[in-house]
Amino acid sequence: MGSPSVLGDNEISELPFLPEAAGILTRRGYALTIEELAEEANRNILISGISRVKADVIGDGGFQVPQGVQSPELRILSFVVASVIVKLTKNNLIVKKFALAEAKRIENFIRTIASSQRDSAVALLTLLYDRVLKMRLYRADRIIGSQLFEFKLRFQDYLTLATTINAPSWRLVNRVLDSGFVYIKMENATRLVRDAIARLIEDHIRSLKMVKAPQLLVEEAKKLVEETSEIVGSRGAARSWSVATNPEEYPPCIRSLLAKLESGENLSHFARFLLASFLINIGLSLDDIIRLFSRSPDFDERITRYQLGHIAGERGGKRYLTPSCTKIMSMGLCVKDESCDDLKIKNPIAYIHRRRKHRREEKTKHDTKAKGRRKGKGVPEDEI
């Protein structure tokens, strides 16, 4: 496939992780060492790097290329500085946030071009698939029914990319598959490449070698860690909810599995997975869950611990989500009652939360009626 040289300096500067980016710097006389970057004379580069990293890590979806970062070399260098700062934080969460924000920026960049210069967008996507994903993005330009599909991917490749996205529309069963190819639209192709770019940037940052970091950048990294921990601290806390340890609050399917476990019945593989992923995702500790599973007739603590760790995404894996109700139904484990219908449950995870909310609303309604005053505003979410 080679690497078509369709990209001008402007495009490459939007993809600063490509090796070509270094070429631009050399050509334009900006092949600077990290020490040189931190010098006073390069202040504008530093400032743009710092603002870039802040927009990515702290800013809430601030995806515009930072103000004042105009020339291709400055853009590339701002990425270099930002990467160095991120590296210096030694904080995995920051690395991930940065990488994802950068990847989203690229996604948006492609969308913008796609709306005006379709051919450039096609060329850019094809190149990214080739270079970043090591996959071939086939041109299809085919109308299926009423829709135009610009591309197709071999189904194995499609699955590799799409299984990380959770929306049902990305499931293979909701796609057009013919002769081994999944047909996708331009915007699908753009979305599918995003996670891979994020991973590539993460790798790029991990592989950066820093002999002696300039003090200035070390300081910036420190500040970044402080500022993020504030954010993570406050928002993280707001989002977390008290762990529901009372099985009364669990959805019917989970309660029934717990009862089976209690009575010493052996659960199927899927049933165990469902139970484990549910309990992990509502925040029960692994030890508590292991205690539950220890009632299983063929319990082996070591294996159970390993499997739970896997589902919980330890050792760098991805945490597994709790299967959807549709899935649970298809496996014959759904035992829903009216509460599931009333709460319009699509995933058992939503059950506890919705049920609590529902009760509160009922209660508020009730109270409001009873007292005949107080506008039923409900209890704020984070008071749960």
List residues near ligand SF4 by CB under 6 A: 251-253, 325, 328, 334-336, 340, 345, 348, 351
SS3 call for 152: strand
Question: Please, which residues have CB within 8 angstroms of residue 280's CB and are 6 or more apart in sequence?
Answer: 286, 289, 308, 311, 312, 319, 320
Residue 274 contact partner, candidates ligand SF4, another protein, none, CB within 5 to 8 A by sort of partner:
none
Nearer to another protein, 295 or 305 (CB): 305
Least Å distance between CB 376 and ligand SF4?
Answer: 27
Please, where are the H alpha helices in 90-246? 92-116, 118-128, 155-162, 186-207, 215-239
- Provide, rounded to whole angstroms, the least separation between the CB of residue 284 and ligand SF4: 17
> Shortest gap between Cβ of 135 and ligand SF4 (angstroms)?
35
Nearer to another protein, 10 or 163 (CB): 163
- Exposed, middle or buried, 92 (CB in 10 Å: 0-12/13-18/19+)? exposed
From the list another protein, ligand SF4, none, which binds 345 (C-beta under 5 to 8 Å, kind-based)?
ligand SF4
State the minimum distance, in angstroms, from the CB of residue 31 to another protein: 40
Between CA 163 and CA 196 the distance in angstroms is 12
Instruction: From the list ligand SF4, another protein, none, pick the one residue 336 interacts with, judged by a Cβ distance below 5 to 8 Å according to partner type.
Output: ligand SF4
Closest CA to 25 of 70, 93, 80: 80
CB of 328 to ligand SF4, least distance (A): 4
Least separation in angstroms between residue 271's CB and ligand SF4 is 12
When CB distances are held under 5 to 8 angstroms depending on the partner's kind, the choice from another protein, ligand SF4, none that residue 335 binds is ligand SF4
DSSP 3-state of 138: strand
146 binds, among another protein, ligand SF4, none (CB under 5 to 8 A by kind): another protein
Residue appearing with tokens 């993020």: 228
Q: Which does 144 bind (CB under 5 to 8 A by kind): ligand SF4, another protein, none?
A: another protein
Residue 154 or residue 356: which is nearer to another protein going by CB? Answer: 154
- 266 binds, options another protein, ligand SF4, none, Cβ within 5 to 8 A by partner type: none
Which residue's CB is nearer to another protein, number 314 or number 367?
314
What is residue 366's DSSP assignment?
Answer: H
What minimum distance in Å lies between the beta carbon of 183 and another protein?
8
For residues 257-290, b (16+ Cβ closer than 10 Å) or e, as one string?
bbebbeeeeebeeebbbbbbbbbbbbebebeebe
The residue among 325, 332, 319 whose CA lies nearest residue 349 is 325
Cα separation, 191 vs 186, whole angstroms: 9
The residue ranges that bind another protein (CB under 8 A) are: 142-147, 155-156, 159-160, 163, 168-169, 171-181, 183, 268-270, 302-303, 306-307, 324, 326-327, 330-331
What the block records as the tokens of 58 is: 């702290």
Q: Which of 14, 12, 33, 34 is nearest to 23 (CA)?
A: 12
